[in-house]
Amino acid sequence: MTQHLAETLPTTTGTLPGWWREAVIYQVYPRSFADSNGDGMGDLEGIRSRLPYLKELGVDAVWLSPFYASPQADAGYDVADYRAIDPMFGTLHDADAVIREAHELGLRIIVDLVPNHCSDQHEWFKQALREGPGTPLRERFHFRPGRGADGSQPPNDWESIFGGPAWTRVADGEWYLHLFAPEQPDFNWEHPAVQDEFRSVLRFWLDLGVDGFRIDVAHGLVKAPGLPDLGRGEQLKLLGNQVLPFFDQDGVHEIYRSWRKVLDEYAGDRIGVAEAWTPSADRTALYLRPDELHQAFNFHYLTTGWDAAALRATIDESLDAMRPVGAPTTWVLSNHDVVRHATRFADGDPAAGLRRARAAALLMLALPGSAYVYQGEELGLPEVVDLPDEVRQDPSFFKQNGQDGLRDGCRVPLPWSGTEAPYGFGDGGSWLPQPAEWAGLSVAAQTGDPGSTLELYRSALRIRRERADLGAGDAVEWLPSPEGVLAFRRGSFVCTVNTTAEAVAMAAPGTVLLASAELEPGEPGTLPADTAVWWQG
């Protein structure tokens, strides 16, 4: 039944753009969104109950981070069964209910898929361990003998993203590859059984009615032949800066061509979204050729600082890279793996960080293409930087020489209502503690307050929906502007953004539609510090 509901949502054909070209997609991190059963952990029923909030916010689609059966060694990105729901989140019936009710509200659902690696508790991997060296199941992973006279050294010098060697030795002496945690063995995508299995997984969820997949580590599936040494340490610093023997290999594109054929079997414009850390926007565009995926996260934009010249350069580069392949550019400010942008932009001043975050939101939503909103950014939530060590769960926190291990700070559960924690998240506390100051940032506290960040997002998304010159497109018309100010036109719409710490005087390009900060009465052309304004030109 759900599949038929998906097919009734608006679709496009021929030369018209697909829905994803201008969609605003909201990322839900399930364990931190809403808890329905009082166990302190968010779940699918909690998500279902809050879908009307997302509809009212004005987004077009909802991306759900993993909810599959998992030992939770890496917050669900270690999948033991791709067709089952982890009991902490609910049941397959609950997942079906989320998809069905989202469609009834006119929302689309994108689910996370984790194809680079699985859990060490996946049946394939457990069987591979039992069967031993040289057996067929081991060929579905990267098992190798060690180096050195006694095989006690890893097969090559690759490092785990989470710190330490990317290899773990098993009892029979062989080593297996894991680019992330030891509990996350990498699949061998040269093996046809792996390819067949994931095409089957795609169809399982497409049959259930999902509208697309966010593909975790989309750049990592194929490894260079022979698994050659990289030849240097501190490999984490190279990520996203150059093609590596384990990332962004050209062989990944044949995989996504086969996936695109599966997606195209289904009505309703089902899509694939790549999480692809690449050295350049041009390399990212290769994932989005007409016979491959539909979107890729714009990490080059996410990592650009609050600086007008740098932002303009990244915007131009992003639009220029996507244009030849006919793909929409995407814009993203935060997600479950990075410090929230209200804190990233703060430079030690929380008030300045919030001002810049509000302005950054209007800039992002004014740009042509698709935008991603990470849960809580519409509330202006800052990073929680003072979590006690004993509550942290990020696996890289317990490693050395890997990621900073502080991803828990952006994963603290949302505040919905009330003056004390857990602020309506659920009846049984929250798996990470929420700060006392979040009482004033809850959905209930901000609803109806015209100066709140939540109402700013609601207004911006409403205007974006109503205006034909916003959303899809592949270009902006830059306008003359003072140093430190961005100004561009899209049809009769104009966006101006002051990234400096001082007010800037400039001629008003029209009538104010929306501003991220209060403007001086009688001086509509004066842009306050760290402020964005939308104009009817």
How far apart CA 388 and CA 90 sit, in angstroms, is: 29
**List of residues 6+ apart from 37 with CB closer than 8 A:** 43, 45, 426, 428
Active site residue 265: yes
β-strands 108-113, 143-144: how paired? unpaired
- The CA-atom distances, in angstroms, between 365 and each of 187, 375, 456, 479 are 37, 16, 11, 18
Out of 101, 216, 383, 530, which one is annotated catalytic?
216
Catalytic residue among 196, 254, 265, 347: 265
3-class secondary structure, 298: coil
Task: Yes or no: say if 288 and 294 are a contact pair by the CB < 8 Å rule.
Answer: yes
Beta 526-527 vs 504-505: how paired, if at all?
A: antiparallel
The tokens of 222 are what?
């194929």
CA distances from 174 to 154, 267, 290, 311 (A): 9, 45, 41, 48
To 10 degrees, what angle do helices 453-466 and 350-366 make?
10
Write the CB contacts of 38 (distance below 8 Å, at least 6 apart in sequence). 426, 427, 428
Q: How far is the C-alpha of 392 from the C-alpha of 202, rounded, in Å?
A: 33
Q: Is 389 a catalytic residue?
A: no
Which among 455, 282, 492 has a CA at the least distance from the CA of 366? 492
Query: What values do phi and psi take at 504, rounded to 5?
Result: -125, 130
Which residues belong to the active site?
216, 265
